[in-house]
A and B are shown apart, each in its own frame.
Chain A
Amino acid sequence: MKNNLRIALISKDCELSSQLSIHIESKGHQVIVFNNESLVLGYIYSDPSDIIIINFQFSETNFHGLISEIKKDCYFGTIPIIGLIDENTHNNIEWKDCPIDDFITLPFKYNELFSRISLAKNRIQRIFDNNPLTKLPGNTSIQKAIENTIGAPMSVCYLDINNFKPYNDTFGFTRGDEVIRMTARIISNAVRQTGDGGFAGHIGGDDFVFIVKNESAEFVCKTIINNFNIIASDLFEEEVKHKGFYIAKDRQGNENKIYLLTLAIAVVPMNTPQINHYGKVAEIAAELKKYAKKFTESKYVINRRKR
């Protein structure tokens, strides 16, 4: 286990909190104690901890809002949450609504708690194939998510950034990585804002996938394009923004006119008979994207063919 973990402890029981703190600190970790849940999110968002421990004992809330808020965000969702539960609470918890990673029954042995912490951290690393750059789920999760939506009134949307490679080559990979991270946030926020689930994943490089309900697809595409244009325009100097392109040398030393960063999105509704397996989705999307990329501005194209 990585030493010096930062552990957020949410517990009404002050005696337990101070005992736990001493034990945790004696192992070289750091504890931040919260007596109630109201300040937790703001804290986690501004200074994320490595583990969250929630004491469900003596608490009138079930921490549902807090837990789902953290777990729904791809950045914070990978922080393991461990519940402290007493004999009586077991039956009261609806596990479906309580997506924590593990629990331990009170009273517990400290050795067991530390093992659980270690296990939870490792398990999260095992099940998540998240992209290290964007923290969005990777290809295994994407394939699973697409397969699960075959036949459903959902749209699988493939997105990539036009002119990303020359941007990366001209301004360096640090700036390139920034664009990728920003794009990831823009996509996952837009998907999340629809309020009815959805999925956002990162294939790799400048290729992303997101899945939303058919009726939200156009709105989400527009939001993503709009927000991307706002963010991307801030990446260029005033003069370049004005002209709409910059001059860059390619690997052979030839000077090329490079247009600014834009998006191409291929939207594939999944409830048509034409789509019967995972590979077909990617195939259709590739065709649509070829068309979307013919434009110099950002474009989304929806698959209208029924067979």
Chain B
Amino acid sequence: MGNKVNEIKRIVQDTKSLPTLPGIVLKISKLAEDDKSSVNEIARLISSDHILSAKVLKLVNSPFYGFSGRVSTISNALILLGVNVIRSLALSSSIFEIMEKSVVGLWEHSFGAAVAANTIAKILQLPDAEEISTAALLHDIGKAIIKIKLEEDYNQLISIIKEKDISMIDAEHEFLGTGHPEIGEWIARTWFLPEKLIEPIACHHNVKKSVIHKTKTAAVHLADILVKASDFGFSGDDIVPRIQTEAWDKLDLNEKILEEIVQETEDRLIEAKNFSLEIQTSGEKQS
């Protein structure tokens, strides 16, 4: 087991970039250059994609720029890097040759979680709404690493999940000796992402563990559960976990406000579904 964990750590350390969906990259390449409206559109497209967002945040927080790992939102990254740099970065991203169901499913799950988190932050009037959405977008980045860098293990995990009817995280612990929150934390640290994003990634299945950014972690935890409950996207299993007491308490939830959040999230996920279909079809036309 120890060896496996070390192997994963090594793979994470060597991971410089990850492929993304062709549809997003294609859409960005179609936007006219240097047009004011296209700047916002580029930001919106990048904010829908967990891989591209991670890539942009990795760049802006790299020691090369000297911002000491402080930048935690795509809009701030856009201001600091400039639209030209962000556009080139997106356009030179490697893309998936085949649009596998699990890849699209994880992309949708991540995007859906960001939508849900944004709704939660708005309704509960939490500070740093954009950071909460970004953290939710990246919360399962560890799963992307497993899927892309440890393909065989990923397939093994999926069969274990089906066979034993357990959650992805339980299967990971059983089979890999570690879980996607830890793997996500390692990649986030390797890429110098800010602590505000690392903690929700590392603790979204165990809110108790979070120390400094508990509200953000609780919001991401809830967002993850809400997308799963809405059956939006696919994150590896179909089990909807319970909302942890720490999250209830930290967010000061009650039945009524939760209902409002669920309703609003459902509505916004319909729009999200349309966007997702658009991305998928434009990616297919490409090939």
Contact = CB atoms under 8 A, between A and B. Distances in A.
Say if A and B assemble together: yes
Interface of A: 38-43, 45-48, 69, 72-73, 75, 133, 174, 177-178, 181-182, 185-186, 188-189, 192-193, 195, 227, 230-231, 234-235, 238
B251 interface: no
B16 A47 contact: yes
Given A181-B65, A227-B79, A230-B76, A43 B92 contact: yes
A34 to B, nearest CB: 10
Contact of B76 (A41, A75, A231): A231
9 contacts: A42-B90, A42-B91, A45-B89, A178-B68, A181-B66, A192-B84, A195-B34, A230-B79, A231-B79
A73 to B, nearest CB: 7
A46 B89 contact: yes
A185 B17 CA distance: 24
A218 to B, nearest CB: 15
In the A-B complex, the 7 residue pairs with the closest CB atoms: A42-B92, A189-B82, A41-B88, A227-B79, A195-B34, A185-B80, A39-B92
Contact of A42 (B34, B81, B89): B89
Contacts of B124: none
A38 B81 CA distance: 20
Contacts of A38: 91-92
A234 B70 contact: yes
B67 A178 contact: yes
B133 to A, nearest CB: 15
B65 A42 contact: no
A142 to B, nearest CB: 21
B99 interface: no
A71 to B, nearest CB: 12
B83 interface: yes
B17 A46 contact: yes
A45 B88 CA distance: 8
Given A45-B59, A234-B70, A186 B17 contact: no
Given A46-B59, A174-B68, A195-B34, A182 B82 contact: no
B84 A73 contact: yes
Contacts of A238: 127
A1 to B, nearest CB: 21
B206 interface: no
Interface string B73-106: 0011001111111001111111000000000000
Given A46-B16, A186-B79, A40 B66 contact: no
